[in-house]
Amino acid sequence: MLLEIAVFAPLLGSVLAVLLRASGSRAGAVWLSVACMAISAISAVAVLVRHLVDHVTMHDVALGAWIHVGNFVTPWSLREDTLSLVVVVMVSVVSALIHLYSVGYMAHDRTMPRFFVYISAFTFAMLMLVTANNLLQLFFGWEGVGLFSYLLIGYWYDRAAANAAAIKAFVVNRIGDLAFLIGIVLIYAQFGSVSFNQIFAAVPQIATQKYHLFGASMPVLDVIGVLLFIGAMGKSAQIFLHTWLADAMEGPTPISALIHAATMVAAGVYMIVRMSPLMSSAPAAMGMVAVIGGATALFAGTIGCVQNDIKRIIAYSTCSQLGYMFLGAGVGADSAAIFHMVTHAMFKALLFLAAGSVIHALADEQDVRKMGGLWRKMKVTYATMLVGALALAAIPPFAGYYSKDAILAAAYANHGTAAMFGWVCGVIGAGLTAFYISRLMILTFHGAPRGDADVHAHAHESGWMMIVPLLVLAVGSIFGGMALDRPFVGAGSATFWGSSIVPPVASVLPLSMPIPTWAADLPLLLALVGFAIAYIFYVMRPSMPGALAKAMPGLYQFLLHKWYFDELYDYVFVQPAKRLARVIWRGADDQVIDGVPTGLARWTTDFSVQIGRAQNGSVAVYSFVMLLGLLVLLSLFLVMR
Amino acid sequence: MITLIAAAPILSLLIWLPVLGAVIIFATGDASEASARSVRWVAFWTSLVELILALGLLAAFDSQRTGFQFVEKLAWLPHAGVSYHLGVDGISLLFVVMSALLTPIAIVASWREQRRVRAYMAAFLLLEALTIGMFESLDFLLFYVFFEGVLLPMYLIIGVWGGEQRVRAALRFFLFTLAGSLPMLLALVWMWHHAGTTDMVTLMHTSIPAAVQDWLFIAFLLAFGVKAAVWPLHSWLPDAYGEAPVAGTVMLAAVLSKMGSYGFLRFSLPMLPQATLYFAPLMLALGVIAIIYLSFAAFAQTDMKRMIAYSSAAHMGMIVVGIFTLTVEGIEGALFQMISHGLVIAALFLCVGVLLARGQSRLLEHLGGLAVRMPIFATFLMIFVLANVGLPGTSGFVGEVLILAGAIKVNFWLALLAGSGMVLSVMFMLVLVRRVLFDQSRSSVVLAPPDVGAGEWLMLAPLAVLVLVLGIHPDALTIPFDRAVHGLVQQTGGALAMKADLHHRMLAMVTR
């Protein structure tokens, strides 16, 4: 019952907000949805505690039937195991905090109740995704979160940029979703089921089967694994399908924190980890996961170093951190991936909410070049954001250190080609992370104010509803790593996860196979170098970054334009698609396919216009034509017999 | 109640009640305004009673039994083997109910029609009688008469009450459909000659030489393909959908297009199994082309109604793919999609009607910003758009995923290409939403339009509820046709058992 409450309370909150909004009670709508979310978070924590105390392996809460056709059987149900419950707690707690924060952040917006309708419904969809016990229900939640992400990116729908970003997010996500759905039906065709337990049980039998594709025959599990991962790439904004995430920052900042940092974008990671019994038997797909993850960790980091919009810097950072999680999943360290997902949810939500607090204080200014000197005015925001930054940069003892370290250690210990590629990318990325986040902190809070003096003078600390969530998340970002290290990836991990995660192959567990000290310490060392460079660039020699950009204009423009992905896609996909659409409509459809019948019609129109004139649309003539047809029929009938 | 329905000749009643309504309207009214008002009410009540009867039929239907139910058989031309033979099975039942559901909605949607109200309402009732008769027919000749008969009221509806280009559109609709169904007439005559009867149940169990099957298949393809707007037989569609009055477009897109896909299921698959297998790759290719080609064509449209028309035709491609996968999943998916598409596309056209009734333009460049002024309308439109792009939780998803589950058993690329509609439909439907609901207002109509009124709630709310309920609880639909589809697949597959191992062929992509 507790799990049902945790999952359905947000839905109730959303529905109540709709009803109360219609009846005109704005405050009621808002606070009721906040209350429902709080109930959800409390129930989620309670159900996780109960699960850990009782040591149940897996429990399925049946809710009813969904699709029942032939062998295609998918019930509505909730899966209760350690993996799903950990993520349920993460989602509902972060969501509850962001609900509270939003009451303060959106206070001046006339449409505030609609905002709460969306984010409560989003939370429900996310929880359905996480607790799904079959792939199709997971897909239900998957598309549901995509929908609310679309609605919330385009929340201020009178802005053209917001609309464009919303559509872009939905379409790019759908490309991934198509691959995901094809993967699901391929699983159905191969396994005869889409339910997790039956899939996992049948993996050994299917593992030997080959699938013919591209004229070659490849293991069917690899094909499935790659398809699922393409779906995950869309949702988690991995390289090639990442272009929507930065534009998604058009949405309100609490949304960037909840959906585009802490929860929805992590759904791809969750799905790959959830499918780990299958993925671990698909070595080629695993290699791809590790390579793409590592590449994204590095690639997004390089872009983050030169962006000027505070939210976009953090967005690229999110992209990069998701890359680390995939790297973990790709080398078989699923528990480390989930560990990083949980710590990331805390410190990244913290960074976004703090950034929101800054933007709020500066009358919607988002350009870091126009900030500076804010730390005296917003001490709590500054302190909490600093905690988030240290956690992100993986400085001990903050949360990110433990989880990122576990991933990189596992990648090094794996020793495969893909894993080593990922490790190198990840280590360089660690340096970049430290650089861009210190750059952000220095430009925002230190030095002299560079923006409008009037705006700066009015900058002030935010109200308690925005401060409390910051403090809670800061506490999590400080202690989360230390507290969760042992159960998640340490000595207690086997009993903690139970059978919900495939136990990692012995060789990738950092515990069982210690890696050389230099390899373990390298990420931290590079992070310190990153700090040092940022300090030199933005505190000691502020002229250096500009000089560097002038010295290497090609590289600077390349990074500033985000590796020209948007331009490339526009040139290769968007413009040709528009041209094709016009050609099909104006050319092919009107001229060729329509040409023949139109000629025929013109020929007969002359005849029928005559009749039309004579009778002027009278029913009689039409009936007459019909009767004629029937007469022909009847005469044929008599002739034939 | 249920025993009463089982005892009464309910299928005949369903055909003749609207005819009676049409006759009453024609016999009693005159051209006055008072008469027009009473005519509307007569039409509405007739269609409402019809709907209640159809729901009774649904309730009395025994989904555990195979074969046809509520069968009525009267001699018509006994020496020629022709009879007045009616019956429904799981496949046709739901189309009867859907026609009965959409007719009252179409009548409510035309409440403001001022021109020739008597003829208009009579035409709609007649259309209802003929479509329902077609779905119920178990005699080929009777089927043919209804199938052709539908043309008459629809032609009138487009030609008399349509938009500016109505005459051209009506004529093309008429010529295309007539030209398409003449080959079917030849097929009818041949089969009649071959079997000595036009009884469809007998025909389903009559073996036909393989060489002839191919010709018959082509004949049926022309007849049903035009109705279902299978690419490249769709070119009448944009004009007819664009020019017909909104209620006419609703019936065209939701019900008449299903006559085609229903025909494939009723004739091509069970009667011509060898030819079906032979032509299946072609049909799958046509379906995939329709999905991709027509989605791109929709993307280029500037007129809201035409964009939805192209989207509707693209979805018909998906239905064709589902049918010709010849798998249980594919065909049930296609059937589900046929119903879902009927509801969703009808609702989308009704939404266009809501805007037209407020003097808004159909051109996307003249709309915008309506989410602020018409929030309830915006919610409805959003629900139907999401169902149209197949979002899980709406009825659109269930059909689509089942069709893909059938398609992947045939071929990986088929599933991927058919699934590409998922991405393409999002492209143009979200542009539509943006242009209509979001952005700044570009409307030339200055006055703030009133939000959805009572009559409009009456048409949109039932459809929205159905779309959502069927998305979450699709069993309500799949249980009635589950047995019929299993029977159909077994019959088609069984006839081929000697010739080719169907399932072996289909799973050829996998080896151990």
Cβ of residue B469 closer than 8 Å to a chain A Cβ: no
Q: Do B512 and A178 touch (CB under 8 A)?
A: no
CA B255 to chain centre: 3
Supply the pLDDT for residue B451: 81
Calculate how close chain B gets to A561, using CA atoms only, in Å.
25
Cβ of residue B385 closer than 8 Å to a chain A Cβ: no
- Decide which of A594 and A578 is more confident: A578
List residues bridging with B85 in a β-sheet.
Answer: B73
Peptide bond into B209 cis (omega under 30): no
Supply the pLDDT for residue A615: 42
Among B429, B411, B204, residue whose Cα is nearest residue B310? B429
Question: What is the C-alpha R_g of chain B?
Answer: 22
Average pLDDT value for residue range B177-186: 86
* pLDDT above 70 as % of chain A: 89
Q: How confident is the model at residue A624 (pLDDT cuts 50, 70, 90)?
A: low
Q: Which residues of B touch A70 (CB under 8 A)?
A: 328-329, 332, 486
- Decide which of A208 and A634 is more confident: A208
Q: Do B171 and A68 touch (CB under 8 A)?
A: no
User: Which residue's entry shows tokens 């698609």?
Assistant: A577
CA A476 to chain centre: 22
Q: How confident is the model at residue A604 (pLDDT cuts 50, 70, 90)?
A: low
Average pLDDT value for residue range B323-349: 92
Average pLDDT value for residue range B336-359: 91
Cβ of residue B432 closer than 8 Å to a chain A Cβ: no
Instruction: Evaluate if residue A465 carries a pLDDT over 60.
Output: yes
Give me the residue from A139, A174, A186 closest to B423, CB to CB: A174
Burial of residue B371, with CB atoms counted within 10 A of its CB: 0-12 exposed, 13-18 middle, 19 or more buried: buried
The Cα A94–Cα A87 span in angstroms is: 11
Instruction: Evaluate if residue A84 carries a pLDDT over 50.
Output: yes
pLDDT in tens, A197-206: 999 988 888 8
pLDDT in tens, A514-536: 778 888 888 888 989 998 998 88
- Decide which of B438 and A619 is more confident: B438
CA A297 to chain centre: 15
Buried b (16+ CB within 10 A) or exposed e, A371-398: bbbbbebbebbbebbbbbbbbbbbbeeb
Q: Chain B interface, mutation test: which of A67, A194, A602, most B Cβ atoms within 10 Å?
A: A67
- The mean predicted confidence, pLDDT, of chain B is 86
Q: Which residues of B touch A143 (CB under 8 A)?
A: 391-393, 397
Give residues with Cβ within 8 angstroms of B215, minimum separation 6: B187
- Decide which of A10 and B171 is more confident: A10
The Cα B193–Cα B195 span in angstroms is: 6
Instruction: Evaluate if residue B448 carries a pLDDT over 70.
Output: no
| Residue B53, SS3 per DSSP | helix
Q: What are the structural domain ranges in chain B?
A: 1-270, 272-512
Poorest-pLDDT segment among A284-298, A320-334, B224-238: B224-238
Among A265, A286, A203, A270, residue whose Cα is nearest residue A508? A286
Average pLDDT value for residue range A66-95: 90
Give me the residue from B329, B405, B423 closest to A178, CB to CB: B423
Report the greatest alpha carbon distance in chain A.
104
Q: Do A72 and B392 touch (CB under 8 A)?
A: no
Instruction: Evaluate if residue A606 carries a pLDDT over 90.
Output: no
Cβ of residue B192 closer than 8 Å to a chain A Cβ: yes
Supply the pLDDT for residue A507: 44
Q: Which residues of A touch B408 (CB under 8 A)?
A: 182, 185-186, 188-189
Supply the pLDDT for residue B445: 60
> Pairing state of beta strands B69-77 and A216-219?
unpaired
pLDDT in tens, A239-263: 889 889 988 898 899 998 888 888 9
Q: How confident is the model at residue A41 (pLDDT cuts 50, 70, 90)?
A: very high
Calculate how close chain B gets to A160, using CA atoms only, in Å.
6
Cβ of residue B501 closer than 8 Å to a chain A Cβ: no
The Cα B30–Cα A155 span in angstroms is: 53
pLDDT in tens, B265-315: 999 988 998 888 888 888 998 999 889 888 888 888 888 888 999 999 999
* pLDDT above 90 as % of chain B: 37
Do residues A231 and A179 touch, judged by C-beta distance below 8 A?
A: yes
A273's tokens: 């980890």
The Cα B236–Cα B226 span in angstroms is: 8
Give me the residue from A154, A178, A636 closest to B422, CB to CB: A178
Q: How confident is the model at residue A44 (pLDDT cuts 50, 70, 90)?
A: very high
Residue of A nearest to B301 (CA): A585
Instruction: Evaluate if residue B29 carries a pLDDT over 70.
Output: no
Supply the pLDDT for residue B452: 81
List residues bridging with B392 in a β-sheet.
Answer: B394
Give me the residue from B293, B423, B438 closest to A171, CB to CB: B423
CB pairs under 8 A between A and B: 205
Instruction: Evaluate if residue B457 carries a pLDDT over 50.
Output: yes
Residue of A nearest to B155 (CA): A622
pLDDT in tens, A5-15: 999 999 999 99
Average pLDDT value for residue range A63-67: 87
Supply the pLDDT for residue A603: 52
Supply the pLDDT for residue A85: 92
Supply the pLDDT for residue B419: 92
Supply the pLDDT for residue B418: 92
- Decide which of B96 and B453 is more confident: B96
Q: What letter does residue A564 receive in the DSSP assignment?
A: G
pLDDT in tens, A120-136: 999 999 999 999 999 99
The Cα A71–Cα A222 span in angstroms is: 24
Asked whether the CA dihedral A452, A453, A458, A462 is positive or negative, the reply is positive
- Decide which of A268 and A415 is more confident: A268
Q: Which residues of B touch A158 (CB under 8 A)?
A: 369, 372, 438-440
* pLDDT above 90 as % of chain A: 41
Instruction: Evaluate if residue B503 carries a pLDDT over 50.
Output: no
Calculate how close chain B gets to A440, using CA atoms only, in Å.
33
pLDDT in tens, B81-101: 888 999 998 889 999 999 999
Buried b (16+ CB within 10 A) or exposed e, B372-387: ebbbebbbbbebbbbb
**What percent helix, strand, coil does chain A show, rounded to 5?**
75, 5, 20
Q: Which residues of A touch B434 (CB under 8 A)?
A: 154, 163, 167
Cβ of residue B419 closer than 8 Å to a chain A Cβ: yes
Q: Do A633 and B185 touch (CB under 8 A)?
A: yes
Instruction: Evaluate if residue A613 carries a pLDDT over 80.
Output: no
Q: How confident is the model at residue B48 (pLDDT cuts 50, 70, 90)?
A: very high
| Residue A199, SS3 per DSSP | helix
Supply the pLDDT for residue A146: 93
Q: Which residues of A touch B392 (CB under 8 A)?
A: 136, 139-140, 142-144
* pLDDT above 70 as % of chain B: 93
Average pLDDT value for residue range A624-630: 59
Q: Do B185 and A636 touch (CB under 8 A)?
A: yes
Give me the residue from B176, B296, B482 closest to A580, CB to CB: B296
Instruction: Evaluate if residue B164 carries a pLDDT over 70.
Output: yes
Instruction: Evaluate if residue B170 carries a pLDDT over 70.
Output: yes
Do residues B416 and A182 touch, judged by C-beta distance below 8 A?
A: yes
pTM for the whole structure: 0.91
For residue B411, which amino acid is it? N
Residue of A nearest to B197 (CA): A641
Instruction: Evaluate if residue A293 carries a pLDDT over 90.
Output: yes
Q: Do B235 and A601 touch (CB under 8 A)?
A: no
Q: Do B405 and A147 touch (CB under 8 A)?
A: no
- The mean predicted confidence, pLDDT, of chain A is 85
Residue count of chain B, please give it.
512
Supply the pLDDT for residue B446: 54
Do residues B419 and A182 touch, judged by C-beta distance below 8 A?
A: yes
Supply the pLDDT for residue B499: 44
Q: How confident is the model at residue B5 (pLDDT cuts 50, 70, 90)?
A: low
Give me the residue from B151, B472, B475 closest to A68, CB to CB: B475
Poorest-pLDDT segment among A139-153, A469-483, B161-175: B161-175
B456's tokens: 């409009």
Q: Which residues of B touch A171 (CB under 8 A)?
A: 423, 426-427, 430
pLDDT in tens, B373-396: 888 899 999 999 999 999 999 999
pLDDT in tens, A391-426: 999 988 899 999 998 899 888 888 888 989 999 999
Q: How confident is the model at residue B506 (pLDDT cuts 50, 70, 90)?
A: very low
Supply the pLDDT for residue A104: 87
Instruction: Evaluate if residue A587 carries a pLDDT over 80.
Output: no
Q: How confident is the model at residue A476 (pLDDT cuts 50, 70, 90)?
A: very high
Calculate how close chain A gets to B390, using CA atoms only, in Å.
10
Instruction: Evaluate if residue A596 carries a pLDDT over 80.
Output: no
Do residues A44 and A85 touch, judged by C-beta distance below 8 A?
A: yes
Give residues with Cβ within 8 angstroms of A259, minimum separation 6: A122, A145, A148, A149, A152, A248, A251, A265
Give me the residue from B174, B328, B431 closest to A70, CB to CB: B328
Average pLDDT value for residue range B119-142: 92
Supply the pLDDT for residue B242: 86
Average pLDDT value for residue range A155-160: 87
